[in-house]
Structure 1
Amino acid sequence: MSASPIADYGLLSDSASAALVSRNGSVDWWCPDRFDAPSVFGRLLDAEAGHWLLGPVAGSVRRTEREYVDDSLVLRTVHRTGDGEVAVTDGLLAEPGARGHELGQNSQMVLARVVEGLAGTVRMRCEYLPRPEYGLIVPYLHCRDGEIMAEAGPLILALHSPVPLTCTHGRAYAEFDVGAGQVLGFDLASAPAYGPPPRRLDPVPALAETVEAWRTIRDLHPYHGRYPELVRRSALVVQGLTYRPSGAVVAAATTSLPERLGGTDNYDYRYAWLRDFILTMRALWVTTCPEETGQLFGWAARSAGRSGDEPVPIMYGVTGERDLSEYSLDHLRGYADSRPVRVGNDAWGQRQHDVPGVLIGAHLLRDELGDLSEESKALLVGLAEQATHWREPDAGMWEERGPGRHYLASKALCWGALDSAVKLAPRLGARADPQRWAAARDEVRETVLRDGWNDRVGAYTGAIGSAELDASVLVLPATGMMPATDPRMRATIEAIATELSTDGLVRRWPDETAGFVACTFWLVECLAMAGETERAAALFERTAARANDLGLFAEQIDPRTGAHLGNTPLALSHVGLIGAAWRLTRPDFG
């Protein structure tokens, strides 16, 4: 069996790694240890790359419902068959006793699954095919006393099953009956091959402990604004995509899910982009997460290091790795035959002018600036100096893999960097040059207003000299360069709402077929800032309703079919929802 529709997957996370489980109970993606580690279940990208199915036998299910348990990322799925009802509860376990921000500090990775009979008797099937190293390895399975050890490459996987499993050719399987009131716990632990063996955890109380750990996260982060339930769910997704040991937020849990089925725009999003940094900081601030904003800021500052003449990289690994060189996994067919399947992302070497604005703006967003260290001062001055190179072309927000262009969004973010640097200058010491920075800032704005406007299109276009609309210019009001009520900006917003929208979903550019979720929420913000609150709220609610049944968004949505496309769940989509909800609460928010 191949992978399910992208919207059918639910996210499991322990704030260090992630797994995806389908509606029918198949774990088709899990990368133990950390988000960007090699998968041990990879059916998401190839039918032969491993999975763990635990659900009613094929053809017996009449209805399936699922939900997260008590604002956690522990997933409960209820299957109704002709013979009865059964629930399967899945989670990546927190360390015993962990609470709140202690999530992600695991000594080992454990995937727990608990089967509970609710009514009648349901015939169940368990099929376990571990395939480490993105499916390259078919491990030996050693079955004894309810434990199945898979030893392959750098990992040991230990599965404990309450029902006897038959092992053959790297596969373990069984069919069994579950009656009302019966509870069966399965747990799968991952550990390094040359370290201590995995230890056993009782999955039933361990899952309850994990729910409590997530609940304390919720209790630490009250939100006082519109659409609280939607915001809490999206905030939890962002928490789930946070690599807690460092504070980095990965763009998504997956690699190479296609923007177009059968296409080649399939990239690895299991890294942290500085482009998304300020938006994520704002989302965490809105949902009252001061510790997370501080940790995320510290990660970004350490990863960027000392700022010299070379531009700051646009993205990093979860512990600050810079070299994310890309390669293809040619043995994998790809999701819906969408090749290549990529690991790594060569965008790490691109130049993007938005990075200085992101980092300097983050300093202004934090309330507890206080006295800056000499290292921080040097970093901020260096970033401001990099922003003075705004005249040079770059790869743009969408990371075009061709010659650089003069993208308006990049210029606007350079303006934001210089404007923020001028405001911070009294704290930056003798190397600060606010007069020169202010002159460069004003020149950026003059250039964007003069050369970015296209009379024939009647809007600001994506790049200077271009006649093509681009949704990236929706960030201009948020930078402070111009208000959304400015007549030309207002005309641009309307042009994007008319020309780049299909059934309420905003495409990034005219040739794109699917709507980009984050851009649609940016349009909500622009409409709210322009004073069209009712229209903005209607678009927000229409967009929020396009999430899957668990409230998750992928990168894009096909407006014709409603199918989710691209990597999932995408942090930027959920950050966009949080930002739009808060803008509808506070249209004047900076």
Structure 2
Amino acid sequence: MTLSTSHPYRSSLDVAAIGNGRIAALIDQSARIVWWCFPRLDGDPIFCRLLAGDEEKGFCDVVLDGQVSASSYYIRNTSILETILIAENGASVKVTDFCPRFWRYDRPFHPAQLVRRIEPLRGRPRISVRVRPTSNYGQPVTNSSYGSNHVRYLCGSSSVRVTTDLPVSYIAHETSFSLTHPATLVIGADEPIESSIDSMSREFLERTRDFWVTWVRGLAVSYEWQPEIIRAAISLKLCTYEETGAITAALTTSIPEAPNTPRTWDYRFCWLRDAYFVIRALNRLGATQSMENYLDYITTVVSDTQSPLKPVYGIVHNDAAQESIAPHLQGFLGMGPVRVGNLASDQLQHDAYGSVILGVAQMFIDQRLPRMGDVSLFRELEYLGEHARRLYLEPDAGIWEYRGRMRIHTHSAVLCWVACDRLARIATLLGLGERAVYWKESADKIRAEILSRAWSDKRGSFTGAFDHEELDASVLLLADLGFLPPSDPRFVKTVNAVGRELMRNGLMLRYAAEDDFGLPESAFLACQFWYIDALESVGRKEEAHGLFCELLKKRNAFGLMSEDLNPATGQLWGNLPQTYSMAGMINSAMTLSKTWEDAWSSVTPKHDVNPIEQERAEREPSSAGLHLPRRSLNVS
């Protein structure tokens, strides 16, 4: 894969994600670990180089003397990353990075641990290994101690141990040395490793590869775009904190939405509005265990609160998410501020009620789930429905979390309608006729209000807020949520109006009006997928297919997507891998793909092959066909 030097911002987000359901790390194309939070997804970044600006701190890398090129790639259908570093004299090394993940003693084994194997491939490569951790969001670690096979770093209130079969002095002093045999670094909790480092890392690598290959084998992917869907599915899995079932919005904090903007947010939390999109994607993939775990997290939130729902929860749901600024980090490419926590947790966002009920509704119809929804769960959801009935005409911060204004947002009102509508349907399934009537009448009342106050004859579209004329891409979900049929002329006109007014260079903005931070600059990838799905639903399938294929080209070098795109340059911005974007990719791909039954119709055999030559070729295959070309990355 080729590194583009013409777009430095784009190359800065060409990072791969590895993880195991407890921790995750980001690694750039030269095998530098630039982001790793410890001891869990939302922890203190021990490696924070991604947000350190021009300061050389918070990373772990392998420096090859005389390096001229590198190639970096995932092992197929896994989250294991391999990087080949090549020196000008032809010497080369392979760096393999992974987080152990497999079954052990009949339970998941996923320690807060990174494993890095470094192997000589050719010649006598000379390398140095640099480990420069930080604590307290960017403060270099100065307190360390050494054992016979490890270095212990005191990172704030916790210790991180690097256990290795390399000479510890080489790590401590970043000494250059000749690599003559495979070496391993195990980075994690301050616990001794009782077995051979080399044999343990080889066993963990093999078992982790088997885990991912087996997990992918169980996915129900569409015929088209299989590699893209698989990579997106693995990315969703990496954003999962398996202990509680929570799925974070992204693995990072404070990557700006656009160059030099204060729009920098911490996304290492669980947004309830994501529930529907993520559960839908997991359901379509057949990833029922991940979906079930996420449903457990959401129902725990529902049953554990007697207060109105927050829009954002921690990966342990009762953890606080208060927002502060990290003073020791300059920010991505020096573009701060770096935020820890998210103020959105204190906002009023009334769409949360519908989002939760919409997601949990899967439990009442999905026969694959061992624990299906019952009357008791329905009663808990009714508590949320009562909030929706009461709040749908109350101003809130909306889906885009405006910090300086409150309106009656159309999307929030529609999700309040969704809450009542789905409760009516669930009550019908459970045979609760009186409750079904109650919730149906509530839904009808809210729907009438939305149709009256959110439609603008002047704009020929549903607008973003009641009694306002500004357009908003969230109304593209009206048909998907079942509020209107796709054939309804009002929805068709809305799709046309949003496409006409919010598209920039073929990319969809969330909205075009000025907000708390000025005029928005970036396209929002989730909205692009909503637009693609809306086009397909109104019969513009060829246009939707074309936009989808173009959007796939915007992924980074490892197939990941962040939150935003610059419409003028096509550069990725925002936190990554972004759950909204990856789930959107899966849902759109599954919607647009031809069926497996139709797949062979597009495969046309060649009729101009000489049958005698064909038989000879099959009997005596050319040796040229046995070698795969090596993809190289020129970094000189």
Q: Calculate the TM-score normalised by the size of structure 2.
A: 0.84
Residue 399 of structure 1 corresponds to 401
Secondary structure of the structure 2 residue equivalent to 1:127: strand
Are 1:349 and 2:346 an aligned pair?
yes
**Do the aligned partners of 2:9 and 2:571 also contact (CA within 8 Å) in 1?**
no
Residue of 323, 327, 347 corresponding to 2:324: 327
Residue of 561, 565, 570 corresponding to 1:562: 570
Mind listing any 5+ residue stretches in structure 1 that lack a counterpart?
none
Residue 535 of structure 2 corresponds to 527
**Do the aligned partners of 2:523 and 2:564 also contact (CA within 8 Å) in 1?**
yes
Are 1:81 and 2:87 an aligned pair?
yes
Residue 17 of structure 2 corresponds to 11
Residue 69 of structure 1 corresponds to 75
* Aligned length in residues: 571
Cα displacement string for residues 171-214 of structure 1 (whole angstroms, at most 9, x for unaligned residues): 641223446xx4332222223xxxx5465643233222211121
> How has the CA–CA distance of structure 1 residues 80 and 487 changed in structure 2, closer, same or farther, with 3 Å as cutoff?
farther
**Do the aligned partners of 1:278 and 1:361 also contact (CA within 8 Å) in 2?**
yes
Partners of 2:495 and 2:127 in 1: CA distance: 53
Partners of 2:168 and 2:523 in 1: CA distance: 45
> How has the CA–CA distance of structure 1 residues 262 and 427 changed in structure 2, closer, same or farther, with 3 Å as cutoff?
same
Residue 505 of structure 1 corresponds to 507
Residue of 311, 314, 317 corresponding to 1:317: 314
Partners of 1:468 and 1:199 in 2: CA distance: 63
> How has the CA–CA distance of structure 1 residues 292 and 152 changed in structure 2, closer, same or farther, with 3 Å as cutoff?
closer
Residue 461 of structure 1 corresponds to 463
Partners of 1:357 and 1:252 in 2: CA distance: 22
Cα displacement string for residues 266-306 of structure 1 (whole angstroms, at most 9, x for unaligned residues): 11111111100011111110110122221111110112225
Residue 39 of structure 1 corresponds to 45
Map of 1:288-327 to 2, 5 A cutoff?
288-305=286-303, 308=306, 310-327=307-324
Residue 157 of structure 1 corresponds to 160
Residue 384 of structure 2 corresponds to 383
Partners of 1:183 and 1:74 in 2: CA distance: 17
Are 1:266 and 2:272 an aligned pair?
no
Amino acid of the structure 2 residue aligned with 1:513 = E
Q: Calculate the TM-score normalised by the size of structure 1.
A: 0.90
Residue 145 of structure 2 corresponds to 142
Residue 183 of structure 2 corresponds to 184
Partners of 2:415 and 2:49 in 1: CA distance: 40
Greater Cα radius of gyration, structure 1 or 2? 2
Partners of 1:395 and 1:322 in 2: CA distance: 22
Partners of 1:126 and 1:581 in 2: CA distance: 41
Residue of 431, 438, 441 corresponding to 2:440: 438
**Do the aligned partners of 1:53 and 1:127 also contact (CA within 8 Å) in 2?**
yes
| Deviating more after overlay: 477-486 vs 202-211 | 202-211
Residue 33 of structure 2 corresponds to 27
Partners of 2:483 and 2:378 in 1: CA distance: 24
Residue of 51, 58, 61 corresponding to 1:50: 58
> How has the CA–CA distance of structure 1 residues 60 and 467 changed in structure 2, closer, same or farther, with 3 Å as cutoff?
same
> How has the CA–CA distance of structure 1 residues 557 and 123 changed in structure 2, closer, same or farther, with 3 Å as cutoff?
farther
Secondary structure of the structure 1 residue equivalent to 2:25: strand
**Do the aligned partners of 1:306 and 1:378 also contact (CA within 8 Å) in 2?**
no
Partners of 2:26 and 2:305 in 1: CA distance: 38
**Do the aligned partners of 1:6 and 1:568 also contact (CA within 8 Å) in 2?**
no
Secondary structure of the structure 2 residue equivalent to 1:396: coil
> How has the CA–CA distance of structure 1 residues 500 and 81 changed in structure 2, closer, same or farther, with 3 Å as cutoff?
farther
Are 1:419 and 2:421 an aligned pair?
yes
Partners of 1:172 and 1:573 in 2: CA distance: 42
Cα displacement string for residues 376-421 of structure 1 (whole angstroms, at most 9, x for unaligned residues): 1321111221121211111111111123211111111111111111
| Deviating more after overlay: 37-46 vs 569-578 | 37-46
Partners of 1:233 and 1:357 in 2: CA distance: 29
> How has the CA–CA distance of structure 1 residues 380 and 225 changed in structure 2, closer, same or farther, with 3 Å as cutoff?
farther
Give the C-alpha shift of residue 519 in structure 1. 0.9
Question: RMSD in angstroms over aligned alpha carbons?
Answer: 2.6
Amino acid of the structure 1 residue aligned with 2:80 = V
Partners of 2:448 and 2:103 in 1: CA distance: 58
Partners of 2:81 and 2:45 in 1: CA distance: 20
- What percentage of residue pairs aligned between the two structures are identical? 29
Give the C-alpha shift of residue 567 in structure 1. 0.7
**Do the aligned partners of 1:326 and 1:345 also contact (CA within 8 Å) in 2?**
yes
Amino acid of the structure 2 residue aligned with 1:411 = A
Secondary structure of the structure 2 residue equivalent to 1:477: coil
Residue 242 of structure 2 corresponds to 244
**Do the aligned partners of 1:460 and 1:473 also contact (CA within 8 Å) in 2?**
yes
Residue 113 of structure 1 corresponds to 116
Cα displacement string for residues 59-105 of structure 1 (whole angstroms, at most 9, x for unaligned residues): 6323x322211311111112333222332111112267489xx55x4
Mind listing any 5+ residue stretches in structure 2 that lack a counterpart?
1-7, 513-518, 596-636
Residue 365 of structure 1 corresponds to 362
Are 1:491 and 2:493 an aligned pair?
yes
Partners of 1:380 and 1:427 in 2: CA distance: 15
Cα displacement string for residues 501-542 of structure 1 (whole angstroms, at most 9, x for unaligned residues): 223221111132221111111111111111111111111111
Partners of 1:127 and 1:307 in 2: CA distance: 46
Are 1:550 and 2:549 an aligned pair?
no
Greater length-normalized contact order (CA 8 Å, ≥ 6 residues apart): 2
Secondary structure of the structure 1 residue equivalent to 2:174: strand
Partners of 1:439 and 1:307 in 2: CA distance: 27
Secondary structure of the structure 2 residue equivalent to 1:79: strand
